[in-house]
Amino acid sequence: MSGFPTLLYKELLRFWKVSFQTVAAPILTALLYLLIFSHVLADHVQVYEGVRYTAFLVPGLVMMSVLQNAFANTSSSLIQSKISGSVIFMLVPPLSYLEFFAAYVLAAVVRGLVVGLGVLICTLGLVDLQFQSPLWIFAFALAGSALLGSLGLIAAVWADKYEQIAAFQNFIIMPLTFLSGVFYSIHSLPPFWQQLSHLNPFFYMIDGFRYGFFGVSDINPAVSLGIVGASLAGLIWLALVMLRSGYKLRG
C-alpha cells in the first residue's frame, strides 16, 4: 500500500489541530475587510449594474481567503518541517515525489476551500448574493487553490528560513491579490493600470470566480480559466522538477 493517504491525512490533521489559527482567524480577517470596506464604500461605488458593492466584494474576499490560505498551508507546513528537521520522517519512507507533491497540494486545496466556504457562509446573512453558475465558482476555487498550494510548496522547498517565506507572502502574494480586483473592477482604473492588471494571474482567478456569482466579468471566464490553468500547469511542472531532483531536500 502507498504512503500517500497517510501523508495527506497528516497534512490535514496538522492544520485541523490548530484550526483556530488556520481557519477561524482568516475568516475573521475577511469579515473585517467586508465590514470596513462596505461601510466606507457601499454608497459610493457601483461596479456592475444591479449589484451592490457589498455583494460585489464578497466573492473577491472569498477567493482572496482561498488563495492566501492555500499558499500558507503548504509553505508554513513544509518550511516548519525543514527547519525543525522533521522533514526527514517524510524523506526516509518509500514515498515518491509525485505522492509528496499531491498530498501537500491537496491538503492546501482543502484548507483553501474550507476557509473560503467559511467566509461565504458567514457573509450569507449580511449580503444578498447570487449563484449564477456554481460550476465556474468551483472550477476557479479549485484551480486557484491548487495554484497557490503549488506556489507555497515551491517557496518552502526553496526557502531556508521563515523570513524568506514571509517575504514571498508580503512582497508577492499580498500585492498581487490586492491589485487583482478584489476590492474593485479593473474597468474603474486608468488604461495603463488596466493593461498592467492583465499581467497579474490573480486577476483572472478573482474575475472568473466572480463571474460564477453574477454572470458578469471583465474577461470571458473561459479565457480566464485557460490562463489560470496554464499558470497552474507551469507551477506544477516547476514543483515536480524541484522535488524530483531532490533540490534542497535531498542534499
Partner 1 sequence: MTAAIEVRQIGKRYGSLQALAGIDLTVERGEFFGLLGPNGAGKTTLISVLAGLTRADAGSASVMGHDVTADYRAARRALGVVPQELVFDPFFSVRETLSIQSGYFGLRKNDAWIDEVMHHLDLTDKADANMRALSGGMKRRVLVAQALVHKPPVIVLDEPTAGVDVELRQGLWQFIRRLNNDGHTIVLTTHYLEEAEALCGRIAMLRSGRVVALDSTRNLLNRFQHHVHLRVRISGNPLPVELAALVHHADDRGHVLKLKSFDDVEPRLTALRAAGCRIEEMEVAQPDLEEVFVEIMQRESAAEKSAAV
Q: Which range touches partner 1 (CB under 8 A), out of 89-97, 116-124, 139-147, 235-243?
A: 89-97
Nearer to partner 1, 2 or 220 (CB): 2
Distances 204 to 146, 222, 227 between C-alpha atoms, Å: 15, 10, 7
Q: Is 175 in the site for partner 1 (CB under 8 A)?
A: no
Task: Return d(Cα 99, Cα 114) in angstroms, integer.
Answer: 22
Q: Is 240 in the site for partner 1 (CB under 8 A)?
A: no
Candidates 213, 209, 214, 243; CA nearest to 224 is 209
Q: Which of 134, 175, 226, 246 binds partner 1 (CB under 8 A)?
A: 246
Q: Which of 41, 42, 95, 117 binds partner 1 (CB under 8 A)?
A: 95
Q: Is 90 in the site for partner 1 (CB under 8 A)?
A: yes
Q: Which range touches partner 1 (CB under 8 A), out of 80-88, 105-113, 182-190, 205-213?
A: 80-88
Nearer to partner 1, 84 or 192 (CB): 84
Q: Is 84 in the site for partner 1 (CB under 8 A)?
A: yes
For 184-190, which contacts have Cβ atoms below 8 Å and span 24 or more sequence positions? Answer: 184/45, 184/47, 185/47, 185/48, 185/56, 185/218, 186/218, 187/47, 187/218, 188/45, 188/47
Cβ neighbours of residue 93 closer than 8 Å, sequence gap 6 or more = 3
Task: Return d(Cα 158, Cα 104) in angstroms, integer.
Answer: 15
Q: Is 125 in the site for partner 1 (CB under 8 A)?
A: no
Amino acid at 69: N
Candidates 94, 83, 87; CA nearest to 2 is 94
Q: Give yes or no for a contact between 108 and 149, defined as CB atoms under 8 angstroms apart.
A: yes
Q: Which of 18, 36, 222, 241 binds partner 1 (CB under 8 A)?
A: 18
Size of the site for partner 1 (CB under 8 A): 28
| Shortest Å distance, C-beta 5 to partner 1 | 7
Nearer to partner 1, 44 or 250 (CB): 250
Q: Which of 32, 39, 40, 86 binds partner 1 (CB under 8 A)?
A: 86
Q: Is 230 in the site for partner 1 (CB under 8 A)?
A: no
Torsion angle, alpha carbons of 45, 53, 229, 167, to 10: 80
Q: Is 9 in the site for partner 1 (CB under 8 A)?
A: yes
Task: Return d(Cα 49, Cα 36) in angstroms, integer.
Answer: 22
**For binding to partner 1 (CB under 8 A), which residues are involved?**
1-3, 5-7, 9-10, 13-14, 17-18, 81, 84-86, 88-96, 246, 250-251
